[in-house]
Structure 1
């Protein structure tokens, strides 16, 4: 058995080999260390026809890549390399000579399938077009079902021959929105203070008039293991609420700040020991950008986020009061001492090691700085961000005479799902309509 073992600080990994019958440690194959944190996410993958070798995924060079090892722990070679991420390994062909993987080699907002020849460490791109490809590979490795979309194409499903590159279209989806008065968004980038490109997605209000100014709704997340914007249908959004709000006369803006996923180790680790800080810096950059747009009504802007995005939303409203007139924070972390230990300490260290970082992110101590309207939403049975978080902020607000709004969803956990989700979005829409228009 091969088990990746982390220390409490999560900055020192040992890949250990154990006896499967007794559980005894045989040896440590290799170690990985990082001044911030190491995060093993994928187990070892033994070669299909050669159990004396395995593939290990690591971002030790700053990007998630594939490394070939002897089963005894000796590194043979790095199989993939570049300033891009391997996102998913799909498996081997019939002979085990080639490995299929998905990467962001073309762009952080695209996904393409590659075939990697293990012997030579040479890769060949199989899918075509600037898009997000979801693929299934046959057991022989000779054919691929390629299901892809981009911001202009709702969905194409093709049967792809890996050897020749020939493709046969099985399905071309029609635009599901042809019966609706709506427009697609605009994907582009702005530059952060750190020099990083930040991907943005902007919907202009329906019936846009260049001589008018419109209120703004900004949606964000900004935490690890999440990416809001991709070059896929509806720009990667999981629902059509952004288009709906544009129908209602809002400029709708979405951005992936530093701390988000699939942009390399440095981009995510920028928030180490100070979660929220780089995210707020990037939001200030976004606000400055929005204010340059002649059709933006900067006096009527709203902010919306959930979970980590809920934390970022409350943090921004209290740390930079007056920028946004109204905000909605769903399932927000209010005090990182109350959140799950392994996740929190990966990015923040322990409260003993980082007292300032934890103090700066205890939002109950900032509530007196609130200007504008704030709606907190929480699932009553939330086991992820405990309701204690938002309740503690309400208690602090009451103690200090600050008015906030609060909504619970009985029977729901961290995300409000099912038929009640429509109620949630109506609640959010009504709140922003009431306070921004």
Structure 2
């Protein structure tokens, strides 16, 4: 359910030209080992990439076996050192002491020839010019580590407790009561609100803010671990369901110098959410966004990091439905009294300039498009660097925004989707150099697997550094196109992807599978390589199917009204739009409307069963993975954000429940779950099966023992072979 895709691009034509195919009959055929992320050949079938980190304003390629300085204007590389060099300089004698790869090496100090590396027991700063280790710090048995380059202190978690080891190697235990019930230094609120970690260093590494999450009031869901050779054991999951008691979160601040911890004086944390901690440039003030439990009121508050006192409420926002502006404030590097706040208050996520008194100075960006992210600042020219959908709803492009005038300058070619935003874990932070002089522009287009350019922000011109070859060039690629249809409201454009076999014959009739997600926070179609085609879709096309994917209203990155169209009635408007997609498919002479299938996972599993039981004469076969069956049993933050509570929205919850629809099932339906799913609990699928038994309907069921919400490793290959075979057996 938590698939946070942050990619987008748009084609304004009704049907885009298919990616050309030639000589398909002479080319290789795919296997799932090629196309699935758990496959043995998957790595060779994805476009090559380059891992690049900043050493001040210099760019360094970090490969597994070497690090090389990149000339940003010519693309030439100069070898700095190799993995063998590093292991020789640190005196590694065995596997426990060898550094295994340099891909995750970092260069934390501009103009100092120091590289930060780790083995199984230590993190080390190695001077590659002097060929020696200049600093070591123990790192064994540490989880959720957070290194502060300025002070060389590291925060980490062990046995549920939070520790800090300072730059001199002194270990301080910050908490002593950590347990499953009381969690320190990890993500809060089950990874909602854009929170991906639980510790936050101030700029000079002298103070650490951290989350403490009290879960004592949250009931355990009884998952079971069947792996022991003897009797299975309980593996319970703390799971707060919608409308029920949820965990309570507070924020601590540890001072490294004084070895003291204080907690922000937020008051009673019950039914309140404190989102994404941010620091002032001087490291003395903490900024929090607070949401009420309904998530329709938000305030930006400033707290004294020394005393914990609340200094001021700088901004408040209210909306009749909900608010999803989660990012922290970003201070201007040249003016510590001004910061940028992101908000959807005008209907689209945009940037607003504030001062520390809470006065809004001006709106920096505006228009009917979404700003995906603020990457950082061009300090020399006093500009903000953003990714936005201004060029197209299914693109993400780089722009510079002049802070004084609001003028936007396009920095890339105006096409494609940029890998800078792929990861919510902060990967995009690496795109911009520390002083904002350069950007690493890693992007793809529907027919471009990957290009990497260096953009010089003095001139706003890019230089090509790397072009990836098409890893599918020797294979019979499917025919892939994209376009738009109108939503059920008759006016909103919805983007789709259509996938046909490589040897497609327009005179034939093809069985067709609709792949659906349909839920919030995610989108499936954009202008990335192959329009963000999933490998399984290519495999299905090879097996003689057409695959259709449509992003309905309620999906992400199209503005507040588009996303809130499904509010309090999840599944209703989404189905209307998906059926418009079916109407479109029926206009295509090569689609066999008597052989329509549907497949989706998570929210898509919910949509699969919903569509099959609401329109039982339309879909002949379906495969539903990890499906939500009743929103009463889903997570409190997500469920209440989009549905309200069961107490205040009984009609919406009743309409969204699939239990009463079990009797409507006519086609072949396979339900698949991970036995240890901590996101969509097994209770959902099991209760639906029980209703089917009572109603006399006959779904099929498969479970992956020990697996969570998504199948891991090679089991994913097994999963997708099973899904494929089900459609072959019953739809072809």
Does the 8 Å CA contact 1:29/1:74 hold for their aligned counterparts? yes
Equivalence for 2:585? 290
Equivalence for 1:8? 293
Equivalence for 1:57? 342
Equivalence for 2:321? 36
Choose the corresponding residue for 2:492, options 188, 191, 196.
196
Choose the corresponding residue for 2:306, options 17, 21, 27.
21
Equivalence for 2:136? none
Give the alignment of 1:76-95 within 5 angstroms: 76-95=361-380
How many aligned residue pairs are there? 436
**Cα distance in 2 for residues equivalent to 1:434 and 1:163:** 60
Does 2:481 match 1:186?
A: yes
SS of 1:257's equivalent in the other structure is coil
Alpha-carbon spacing, 1:225–1:47, altered in 2? closer, same or farther (3 Å): same
Which moved further from structure 2: 370-379 or 163-172?
163-172
Q: Mind listing any 5+ residue stretches in structure 2 that lack a counterpart?
A: 1-285, 421-430
Which moved further from structure 2: 72-81 or 18-27?
18-27
Alpha-carbon spacing, 1:167–1:16, altered in 2? closer, same or farther (3 Å): closer
**What is the TM-score with the length of structure 1 in the denominator?**
0.97
Deviation string, structure 1 residues 277-298 (Cα, Å, up to 9, x no partner): 1110001101111000000100
Equivalence for 1:233? 529
Equivalence for 1:220? 516
**Cα distance in 2 for residues equivalent to 1:160 and 1:2:** 32
Give the alignment of 1:305-316 within 5 angstroms: 305-316=600-611
Does the 8 Å CA contact 1:94/1:139 hold for their aligned counterparts? no
Choose the corresponding residue for 1:125, options 402, 405, 410.
410
Equivalence for 1:322? 617
Q: Mind listing any 5+ residue stretches in structure 1 that lack a counterpart?
A: none
Deviation string, structure 1 residues 261-316 (Cα, Å, up to 9, x no partner): 01000011000010011110001101111000000100111101111111111111
Equivalence for 2:32? none
SS of 1:170's equivalent in the other structure is strand
- Structure 1 position 133, deviation (Å): 2.2
- Structure 1 position 86, deviation (Å): 0.7
Does the 8 Å CA contact 1:84/1:264 hold for their aligned counterparts? yes
Greater length-normalized contact order (CA 8 Å, ≥ 6 residues apart): 2
Does 2:463 match 1:168?
A: yes
Choose the corresponding residue for 1:352, options 647, 650, 660.
647
Alpha-carbon spacing, 1:162–1:134, altered in 2? closer, same or farther (3 Å): farther
- Structure 1 position 108, deviation (Å): 1.2
Choose the corresponding residue for 1:363, options 652, 658, 661.
658
**Cα distance in 2 for residues equivalent to 1:150 and 1:279:** 28
Does the 8 Å CA contact 1:48/1:96 hold for their aligned counterparts? no
**Cα distance in 2 for residues equivalent to 1:39 and 1:157:** 32
Equivalence for 1:413? 708
**Cα distance in 2 for residues equivalent to 1:166 and 1:34:** 41
Choose the corresponding residue for 1:143, options 426, 432, 438.
438
Equivalence for 1:431? 726
Equivalence for 1:269? 564
**Cα distance in 2 for residues equivalent to 1:363 and 1:281:** 16
Does the 8 Å CA contact 1:127/1:133 hold for their aligned counterparts? no
Does the 8 Å CA contact 1:151/1:184 hold for their aligned counterparts? no
Equivalence for 2:330? 45
Deviation string, structure 1 residues 327-377 (Cα, Å, up to 9, x no partner): 111111001000001111111111111101001111111100111011111
SS of 1:185's equivalent in the other structure is strand
- Structure 1 position 139, deviation (Å): 2.4
**What is the TM-score with the length of structure 2 in the denominator?**
0.58
- Structure 1 position 95, deviation (Å): 4.2
SS of 2:720's equivalent in the other structure is helix
Which moved further from structure 2: 218-227 or 1-10?
1-10
SS of 1:346's equivalent in the other structure is helix
Does the 8 Å CA contact 2:289/2:326 hold for their aligned counterparts? no
**Cα distance in 1 for residues equivalent to 2:496 and 2:412:** 25
Equivalence for 2:392? 107
Alpha-carbon spacing, 1:297–1:80, altered in 2? closer, same or farther (3 Å): same
Mark the structure with the bigger radius of gyration.
2
Q: CA RMSD in A?
A: 1.3
SS of 1:137's equivalent in the other structure is coil
Does 2:495 match 1:210?
A: no
Does the 8 Å CA contact 1:383/1:414 hold for their aligned counterparts? yes
- Structure 1 position 96, deviation (Å): 7.5
- Structure 1 position 23, deviation (Å): 2.3
- Structure 1 position 425, deviation (Å): 0.3
- Structure 1 position 213, deviation (Å): 0.5
Does 2:682 match 1:387?
A: yes
- The runs of at least 4 aligned residues of structure 1 exceeding 6 Å deviation read none
Does the 8 Å CA contact 2:604/2:624 hold for their aligned counterparts? yes
Deviation string, structure 1 residues 202-255 (Cα, Å, up to 9, x no partner): 012232222211100110111111011111112113x32111111111111111
**Cα distance in 2 for residues equivalent to 1:392 and 1:125:** 52
Which moved further from structure 2: 326-335 or 159-168?
159-168
Query: 1 or 2, which has the higher helix percentage?
Result: 1
**Cα distance in 2 for residues equivalent to 1:166 and 1:95:** 16
**Cα distance in 1 for residues equivalent to 2:690 and 2:488:** 36
**Cα distance in 2 for residues equivalent to 1:381 and 1:95:** 52
**Cα distance in 2 for residues equivalent to 1:52 and 1:273:** 40
**Cα distance in 2 for residues equivalent to 1:133 and 1:12:** 32
- Structure 1 position 192, deviation (Å): 0.9
SS of 1:416's equivalent in the other structure is coil
Alpha-carbon spacing, 1:96–1:407, altered in 2? closer, same or farther (3 Å): farther
- Structure 1 position 27, deviation (Å): 2.5
- Structure 1 position 164, deviation (Å): 2.5
